Chain A
């Protein structure tokens, strides 16, 4: 078991120096420019300390106010756990026995103020999670507080000081958000505040109850569809509300200082991801925000202890686009290391698509900081220049774009605030996204474009009957017709170079397990046939499917964590290894138009670490 690292050499004396500096600044604050205050404050914080890594990391963990325990999910098993941050020992609460032989798991675990009870979300199979409470005792029998299919997400944030209520944020079926109290006695719900679709940033840190229980700090979009999010203080009884941080940019993930005089929050207003602080009293801001720590990155806050340690989870991806040469004839990847297309600080490049000229690769990159969704990036293979296109207020999906034949525009799948996928034409010169296929609850973010650019073939899924399909959407007529259906899911689809045949990778239920089938279908829905059927779910590890330049073969990836690139003749037969075997995530595959190279998305799962910044008590230990 990994123990927390020992205290650094920065001890009490250094804290005192910082406190003196901070006090001086605070006293002079009225006369100083906020930027000067922010700049000097930033100098006063420690570098982050690594606390946990691997399966010990839980970005939905919570801290007891004394900083002694972290309530969390044990991701090696799905069980609940309490970690003693002093001893470094983790105790499983045995809500489930064993490990991942069962898919059930708990998350959002919070200890009650007297530490006798825990509230948490429990997931059983594919059903939406529900809210439970249990005694803080290994093996104790849990009690269901709220189980309601109208609330697919009911996430606890805090206990009321008297332990009789739990603050939750809800996402309803239409993805609108609400803040509410749940009675621990009977599970009854009192909705304090509806946020409609402004509540999306709750993903990056939920509402936080002030130490005295009087105020709820939360972040929400400044208005529906806005790229900016602000921070609000709602009185715990719902009687009043104030907007306390309303500066441009993403301001989110507020965390109270232990004395309730300040809020720390994440903000990208400077163009970087920094930790900021704002003083508050009686529900209103009493001063300007100031920087506490620079360049903190993409974070999920956990909490701030009385001793001044700010715990959070830091996330960094390692996904990128790789290029690999093909052997003459284009049937195999040439031996040798693949080439990384571009370095990306966020490590989140996915979904390559080669331009018709072969000079550009378009792909997706996750939005900066905590901004949800993916941006479109067009990378020049000639100059290595990149141009980024942001689709807000609609959110970019991670799926690959597709080039229109003119080479000047891209087909892009975007998601609205109800997770409905719509398809848009991105004019690369103007940077404008124009809707061409409106949002539809059945659409998946998987589509391919006919060679003449007139028809989109879109993968669909009907949740009610658990069936997948493909529709052909005529752009000019804005009409669609179904051309393919399957039980289970369509995992990916690719159109033959002549535009006449779709290759469809699908996962089909069979006697209690999933099987992977690779099928071909005419674009008019005719002549559907399987060319390969595996007895296991070979496509479950991620989409990767493309036709060779001559249309004679199809490349696809099979396997999950360990995967191989395979080639199969369009006429069927046994697939052959196409010369690429690796591990980790995989995302999409594209051939260079001349058939000489492939581009593919690949990487490891994003790396999350629980970190702490210590000695932050100087922020609140002096009176402003």
Chain B
């Protein structure tokens, strides 16, 4: 088709996997080029980006785990633990804000922050530039370009929506119905990337009558954002355990149980988080559907 040929000649980004948009917002100041993407890919796995040379970006964003790390919370140089779970770095090119609290609005800023964070890769800007021989902005631009190419799609769900009705099993279809209907899951996990890119309080950080993590409030300073976190993608979710911003739920079954009971009551619980009282069969169907969101991760 003509429009696709035009795209192929115009951009370094390959055609997206089934289920994702052709359009991906790319800042004018950092157009995608094949050279920059390749540089970013190399840097992503380059342990020189950590102070002690033991970690790379891939240390917390392992391609074999859909670019997550399997740990409860992220672990930086010297084994220092952070406070939040490493999010899966898939389809972030479609994102509008980054980190669990959305504190930065560009992938470029997101890419550089963990390198400079004392609890993560813990490098100084000068040391980064000295080691790599590039300006920090150039490193960020290359890493962001590479991250834009990490995309997940072509899952059984995508094939089903494009007309292959046998691509989902009966249980997975029942799960999809619950996801859209009784569960109200789609209200937050919306669109091709299963995220509305908004912030919601599910009560995960409410314990002992207080919030253990203020989440979005730390950025917006709006009281209603206290305890709210950005909706994560559900693409490849079967491969990105443990779950929630703090990694406190080990399995998808636990996640479904959590929402079935209406999250955890707190002063700012999102209006969409209510007891749904799923039956055991419904819970199994939902988990089956969530597993059908694993597809092909391009990298």
Contact = CB atoms under 8 A, between A and B. Distances in A.
Interface of A: 148, 150, 160, 162, 164-165, 172-174, 176, 178, 181, 183, 188-194, 196-197, 224, 234, 236-241, 418, 435, 438-439, 441
Given A174-B180, A238-B23, A418 B186 contact: yes
A181 B3 contact: yes
Contacts of A172: 161
A622 to B, nearest CB: 31
B189 to A, nearest CB: 10
B25 interface: yes
Interface stretch (B6-14, B123-131, B283-291): B6-14
Given A160-B3, A164-B1, A181-B3, A196 B191 contact: yes
B11 A148 contact: no
Interface in B1-30: 1-4, 6-7, 10-11, 19-23, 25-26
The 4 closest A-B pairs by CB, nearest first: A238-B22, A237-B6, A237-B7, A238-B23
A236 B25 contact: no
A162 B3 CA distance: 10
Contacts, number: 85
A241 B274 contact: no
B106 to A, nearest CB: 16
B190 interface: yes
B109 to A, nearest CB: 21
B160 interface: yes
Interface string B143-182: 0000000000000000011110000000000000000111
Contact of B1 (A148, A165, A435): A165
B1 A197 contact: no
Interface of B: 1-4, 6-7, 10-11, 19-23, 25-26, 160-163, 180-182, 184, 186-187, 190-192, 196, 198, 271, 274
Of A173, A196, A238, A240, chain B has the most CB atoms within 10 Å of the CB of A238
Contacts of A439: 184
A191 B181 CA distance: 24
Contacts of A438: 271, 274
A148 B163 contact: yes
21 contacts: A148-B163, A164-B1, A165-B2, A165-B3, A172-B161, A181-B1, A181-B3, A188-B1, A191-B21, A192-B23, A193-B21, A194-B192, A196-B191, A224-B198, A237-B3, A237-B6, A237-B22, A238-B23, A239-B11, A240-B26, A435-B271
A190 B3 contact: yes
Contacts of A197: 190
Contacts of B180: 173-174, 418
B44 to A, nearest CB: 24
Given A150-B161, A174-B180, A438-B274, A241 B23 contact: yes
B102 to A, nearest CB: 14
A441 B181 contact: yes
A148 B182 CA distance: 23
Contacts of A234: 23
A501 B57 CA distance: 67
B252 to A, nearest CB: 21
B22 A191 contact: yes
A172 B194 CA distance: 14
